[in-house]
Structure 1
Amino acid sequence: MTLARSEPTTFITGEPDSPLQRALSLVIVGAGARGGAYADLAAKRPDVARVVAVAEPRSRIREAFAAKHHITPEYRFDGWHQLLARPRIADVAVIAVPDSDHLAAAIGLADLGYQLLLEKPMATTEADCEKIADAARRNGTALAICHVMRYTPYTVKLGQLLPEGAIGDVVSLQHLEPIGHYHFAHSFVRGNWRREDDSSPLLLAKSCHDIDWISHIVGRPVARVSSFGSLTHFRSEAAPEGATDRCITCPLRDTCAYSATTLYRDGLRNGGTKQYFTRVMTAGELTEEAVTTALTTGPYGRCVYHSDNDVPDHQVVSLEFDGGVTASFTLTAFTPLENRHTKIFGTRGQLTGDGRHIEVYDFRTETRTVHDTSLDGSSAAEGHAGGDEALINAYLDALHGGRPELIVSGIDVSLASHRAVFAAERARHTGTVVQL
């Protein structure tokens, strides 16, 4: 079906609190891990949304996705450029393409009248983020950035406890993102985000989530930023004696903490979290032959000390907000793969959280109260602690039911937190404090 071209409106329904009398139609622009996950979640609510088209350059992934979602051949596209050459075919475009394509895809689709759910980061430069925001505003686009951490039950609970005065007035915050040693080696040494010139700064690619979340929790504009970080370990100077260019030929492959053969074969044989990385490495083909081929010829088989990566492997960011609240943020490769850790310091208590559990310590009573925010007993790492599903549900309900207040990662707040990230990068490169 082809929808008639019409003047774009901020919400499909046109009238607040007036539910649409049909399901929203979605085109998935990029059917990789993120696009596929969002499509699966939307498909759980067929009365509210239907996936009707896909744009994906990898033919095997495109055809498997189309078969799963019953997409007819005429709505299977080789890439997002093809969507720009024809009238709008769906209500919503879910954009999960490489970061460098966000600008052109988002502006082009907004200009055609699509409503947009855009994977983070918005774009790879501050100027491009501004251009996307401008396009959304001039088209009346319902734009939401996939800052899933804003939507989790954990964050919602924090949003109840803090205004209620559980720890008094917030004075400062300490937040750690433990990326995990093999996750970092996969994504930021061997993978798509290893080089700033090919993708974006590490802070933007991995942790714009966190800067956005901290800003959301504090609830005030960022005033000043400083930052420090560098590439310390994953470089040729740190290579152990005898290391070769590829793990599959390396005599140290069974003892190296960053061995590709260990990581991806563990994922193949034992499943679990590592299987996700193996699936990415082989483009979804979970066989011994596919893993061996990828280790022998692909980027994920390279030695972490002999790659062409240049993004930092550790970084700290200091933030001062309007009113004097301060926050410190640390991201590091050198951890187990585990949940983020946060401490919030208030005038009457301290709050400690891990993405699922929240412990409130009261200064007056010297008691500790623990809140478990998991809905099903899962860890904070699974589905971003419920954030993926909560984001999709909020966005679909906002459009389908005419409830814009459900989108809490819209244009203005997402643009503001991206500006803070770019300011932090300027501070890191210049050794200065940057004022916003």
Structure 2
Amino acid sequence: MGQEVKPPAEPVTLAIIGCGQRGSNYAQYALTDPAKCKVVAIAEPRPKTRRLIANMYSVDGSLVFKTWKDFFDASAETIATIGKRLADAVVIAVQDHMHLELVQAFASQGYDILCEKPMATSIEDCIRMETAVKNAGIIFGMGHVLRYSPYSLAVTDVVRSGKLGQLINAVHVEPVGHWHFAHSYVRGNWSKEAESSFSLMTKSCHDIDIICHWLSPDTPARITSFGGLQHFRKSSKPAEAGVATRCFDCPIEKSCPYSAKKVYLDKVSAGHLGWPASTIVDGVPDIESVTDALLQGPYGKCVYESDNDVCDNQVVNIQFASGATVSFTMVAYTTLICDRQTRLHFSHGEIIGDMISFTVNDFRTGKSTVHHPKSEGGGHGGGDLGLVRTFVEAVRTRQQDILGTDVTEVLRSHLTVFAAEHSRQEGTIVDCVDFEQRARETYGLRTEVAEN
């Protein structure tokens, strides 16, 4: 089932597996540039959302599936009968703990794969994913969207130019946003480590990735981390809230910054039908469906009565092999919503940025230059669009290098995140080289046994 370079006039075809926020965002490139990319199949369990996405992309009814396994089985049948897959590539945008199973399944059928971050929720599964991708010889993209926005690409160009000298220190802050954190990591799908993963992984693995990317070919040598769940717990509940467990029943709802009415219902009432309200209902949100979701589901619960357990603040310090140092902070309590604040300090200059613009200060010339990269719209300042466009081109030309990374580098940045969390839990300084070696010795052996 070898794959050939597709001529420019023929669009790369995609199957979207999971049509939630991330899958829908990635699919939009097919509307932006239909000559390059076409969505030809979808798999989505929610009926209204499935119908909405199928209509939006004019997907033939025979290629609209309820589950990924239905799509997989149909694909297996066409491969067996006519030797052809149902699409050139699959976009995997399901829940994190499912990523490995799907990557292994579709890699075995020869599909090129774009997988949403993180790779997986355990070290063993990440290593098994690397093995599956390398054995299949497919094009593999990871949802590290920060690398692909016009802003980040422009910063990377300055870093790689060398005109500011050696990169010696990076200070990077991920301001999650107080109500955004409450939505995703207190009430939402990423609130409990046992059902997803720790928040440094689910929220910030692409921050660690882009820091490592900027410092490459330098590599992390030692890492420490501190953090915890400070506020979103029952002991922080205001006494005035009494015994209320839901926002609709709370006497101080109007003054609470985490009020579900404010976060969801008020926005829908004002005509804002996208994220976050779009993620808590099936189909297009309206006042009735959102109200029902808040009355019945987790998104209407008091943030102090939810069963969340992931960190709401965490700091990570990394020393690289060259001696370069990094300080990274992930924190919930901000007005900014994911607008990263970054300072890169070089031997002969500095870069100061906020995901919208950045200033380059050149010590040698004394000149300061402000850069305003043009955002292409969409998520992450155009990073979502940039990732899919780059992945599509890699698939079309059969060149993994176009993505600027491969599955082994993706694994290593994930291992750096796992090492940071190990440090936080154990209160130790972790040797990154030793951590990776031990992981590969431990889980690599299990992977070989499982595959044999």
Shift of 1:334: 0.4
Shift of 1:397: 1.2
1:370 aligns with 2:361: no
Matches within 5 A, 1:78-157: 78-86=66-74, 87=76, 88-157=85-154
Q: What secondary structure is seen at the aligned counterpart in 2 of 1:303? A: coil
CA contact (8 A) 2:359 2:371 kept: yes
CA contact (8 A) 2:46 2:282 kept: no
Distance 2:295 2:22 in 1: 27
CA contact (8 A) 1:149 1:209 kept: yes
Distance 1:247 1:189 in 2: 14
Residue in 1 that maps onto 2:412: 416
Residue in 2 that maps onto 1:68: 56
- Cα deviations by residue, 1:397-423 (Å, 9 ceiling, x for unpaired): 122134432112421221110010111
Shift of 1:21: 6.0
Letter in 1 for 2:350: Q
- Cα deviations by residue, 1:151-194 (Å, 9 ceiling, x for unpaired): 11122212221233343211110000000000000000000000
1:398 aligns with 2:398: no
Distance 1:103 1:402 in 2: 23
Shift of 1:141: 1.0
Shift of 1:50: 1.7
Instruction: State the identity as a percent.
Output: 40
Q: Which moved more, 1:47-56 or 1:238-247?
A: 47-56
Distance 2:170 2:32 in 1: 37
Report which of the two has the higher share of helix: 2
Q: What secondary structure is seen at the aligned counterpart in 2 of 1:286? A: coil
CA contact (8 A) 2:48 2:283 kept: no
Residue in 2 that maps onto 1:329: 328
Return the match for 1:231 from 229, 232, 241. 229
Matches within 5 A, 1:35-50: 35-50=23-38
Distance 1:349 1:22 in 2: 45
Return the match for 2:18 from 26, 30, 48. 30
Residue in 1 that maps onto 2:41: 53
> Structure 1 residues 415, 258: closer, same or farther in 2, change over 3 A?
same
Letter in 2 for 1:223: A
Q: Which moved more, 1:92-101 or 1:46-55?
A: 46-55
Residue in 1 that maps onto 2:313: 314
- Cα deviations by residue, 1:285-325 (Å, 9 ceiling, x for unpaired): 32221122112111100000010000011000111112111
1:206 aligns with 2:197: no
Q: What secondary structure is seen at the aligned counterpart in 2 of 1:276? A: coil
Letter in 1 for 2:321: D
Q: Which moved more, 1:232-241 or 1:19-28?
A: 19-28
- Cα deviations by residue, 1:58-80 (Å, 9 ceiling, x for unpaired): 11111111111111222111111
- Cα deviations by residue, 1:232-256 (Å, 9 ceiling, x for unpaired): 1011101001321000110010001
Letter in 2 for 1:249: D
CA contact (8 A) 1:13 1:399 kept: no
Q: What secondary structure is seen at the aligned counterpart in 1 of 2:128? A: helix
Return the match for 1:407 from 403, 407, 411. 403
Letter in 2 for 1:411: V
Distance 1:271 1:206 in 2: 28
Distance 2:420 2:245 in 1: 34
Structure 1 unaligned regions, length at least 5: 1-5
Letter in 2 for 1:110: A
Q: What secondary structure is seen at the aligned counterpart in 2 of 1:103? A: helix
1:258 aligns with 2:258: yes
Return the match for 1:175 from 164, 172, 175. 172
Shift of 1:373: 1.0
1:19 aligns with 2:7: yes
- Cα deviations by residue, 1:18-39 (Å, 9 ceiling, x for unpaired): 7366322211100111111111
Give TM-score scaled by structure 2 length.
Answer: 0.89
Q: What secondary structure is seen at the aligned counterpart in 2 of 1:386? A: helix
Q: What secondary structure is seen at the aligned counterpart in 2 of 1:163? A: helix
Q: What secondary structure is seen at the aligned counterpart in 2 of 1:420? A: helix
Letter in 2 for 1:254: K
Residue in 1 that maps onto 2:436: none
CA contact (8 A) 1:166 1:360 kept: no
Q: What secondary structure is seen at the aligned counterpart in 2 of 1:254? A: helix
- Cα deviations by residue, 1:247-285 (Å, 9 ceiling, x for unpaired): 01100100011111111122212355x841112122343
CA contact (8 A) 1:267 1:275 kept: no
Distance 1:292 1:279 in 2: 13
Distance 1:412 1:358 in 2: 30
Distance 2:402 2:309 in 1: 39
Distance 1:167 1:48 in 2: 37
Q: Which moved more, 1:65-74 or 1:138-147?
A: 65-74
- Cα deviations by residue, 1:83-124 (Å, 9 ceiling, x for unpaired): 332423111011000101101011001001111011110111
1:241 aligns with 2:239: yes
Letter in 2 for 1:107: Q
Q: What secondary structure is seen at the aligned counterpart in 2 of 1:122? A: coil
Return the match for 1:434 from 430, 433, 444. 430
Q: What secondary structure is seen at the aligned counterpart in 1 of 2:119? A: coil
Distance 2:295 2:379 in 1: 31
Residue in 1 that maps onto 2:79: none
CA contact (8 A) 1:115 1:141 kept: yes
CA contact (8 A) 2:52 2:283 kept: no
Distance 2:109 2:398 in 1: 21
